[in-house]
Amino acid sequence: MQKRKLSDICMSICAIIVTYNPDVSMLLTLIESVDKQVDVLCIVDNGSSADFYLNFPFDYISNFKFIKLEDNFGLGTALNKGIELARKLGMEFVLFLDQDSICSQGMVSCLVKHYKECTLLKVAEIGPRFIDINNSNISQHVNYRTLRVGHIPCPEKLSVVQTDVLITSGSLIPIHVLDFVGPMDESLFIDHIDTEWCLRAKSKGYVLLGDCEALMSHNLGEYRKRIWFIYWREVPVHKAFRYYYIFRNSVLLYHRKYVPWSWIRIDLIRLIEIFGFTLLFGPYRLDKITMMFQGIRDAFLGKTGKLPSCQNRNSDS
């Protein structure tokens, strides 16, 4: 595949895709969607099955790097391994991608163009809007309102808006910002890694930009359940072990000095809602609620990292 010319945007970019037993067809679609848009494509595999990549068609990917981790060390560790490689290769930017995302044509060039247009701002990262694979809805960028997450509209003729948080996938971050703000927090393992880094960057005086024109298809949840609670709403439903990390990492972040009360207030309400929805409507509710309380307990005990393997279950129970 022919790469885009560096002179087109005068910046070198390494895309970092973190994988864990991915759907091969979706991963190949992601690679095809981004390969021509970046200079280096790096897959960091987080301990997938031993024979998973034996027959993977690596040869057709140009300027490709592969990092195989022997175990699942978590999203933060995998992202940091990719960042280290990008830094060694002299890249100026990293582009984070989840294995279940698909980049739109010209997405990366759009992100870079709008980043360059905001040189008067101290920009930490810029990210696209998302098309939910499940329902084709296009997301809006967000800010923290009094009691809930607010949506920031993209007015006509405005290419970017300032946002309070960006999710990992699709985020374009300059290496020099990572040098100053620091790497991803590996102690969280999964969940809130993107939130924590965004809050840390903002505490150091940086702004986050939501791109109004760049788009990416993304799977925003394992699956969603439509329920009636005051009004009709769709609630994400996760495997039991995920609730351990969601609750533990939230409580861990509540104790950090750079985390603002505006985020804590909204996130605490979100945890209460998750607990209530799970208790009233969720499948396997006993196991999930047990994981929630274990996560809260471990946060107060200062435990971080990976949940013991005997409890880190991949079933929906």
DSSP 210-265: EEEEEEEEE--SSEEEEEEESEEEEEEE--HHHHHHHHHHHHHHHT-TTS-HHHHH
Torsion 203-216-168-14 (CA) sign: negative
pLDDT in tens, 39-70: 999 999 999 886 777 777 777 777 899 999 99
Of the candidates 108, 117, 241, 218, the one whose C-alpha atom is nearest the C-alpha of residue 167 is 218
Of residues 6 and 13, the one with the higher pLDDT is 13
What does pTM read for this prediction?
0.91
Instruction: Locate the domains of the chain by residue range.
Output: 10-218, 223-300
Of residues 241 and 58, the one with the higher pLDDT is 241
Of residues 229 and 84, the one with the higher pLDDT is 84
143's enclosing H/E stretch is: strand 141-144
Contacts of 193 (CB under 8 A, 6+ apart): 75, 76, 79, 168, 184, 185
pLDDT in tens, 208-225: 999 999 999 987 656 666
* DSSP state letter for 187: G
Angle at 10 between CA 40 and CA 197, to 5 degrees: 60
CATH, domain 10-218, list 3.40.640.10, 3.90.550.10, 3.60.20.10, 1.10.1840.10: 3.90.550.10
Of residues 12 and 232, the one with the higher pLDDT is 12
pLDDT in tens, 270-308: 999 899 989 988 789 999 999 999 999 999 999 999 998
Task: Specify the pLDDT at position 49.
Answer: 81
How far apart are alpha carbons 209 and 204 in whole angstroms? 15
149 confidence band (pLDDT: 50, 70, 90): confident
Q: Contact 34/27 with Cβ under 8 angstroms?
A: no
Q: Contact 199/84 with Cβ under 8 angstroms?
A: no
The mean of the pLDDT values for the chain is 89
Residue 94 pLDDT greater than 70, yes or no: yes
Coil, helix or strand for 273?
helix
Task: Specify the pLDDT at position 6.
Answer: 40
CA-based Rg of the chain, rounded to a whole angstrom? 19
How far apart are alpha carbons 235 and 237 in whole angstroms? 6
Mean pLDDT along residues 255-278: 94
44's enclosing H/E stretch is: strand 40-46
> What six digits make up the tokens of 165?
């948080």
Residue 23 pLDDT greater than 50, yes or no: yes
Task: Specify the pLDDT at position 60.
Answer: 73
How far apart are alpha carbons 311 and 297 in whole angstroms? 15
Task: Specify the pLDDT at position 4.
Answer: 47
Interhelix angle 240-254/193-203, rounded to 10 degrees, is 20
Task: Specify the pLDDT at position 8.
Answer: 46
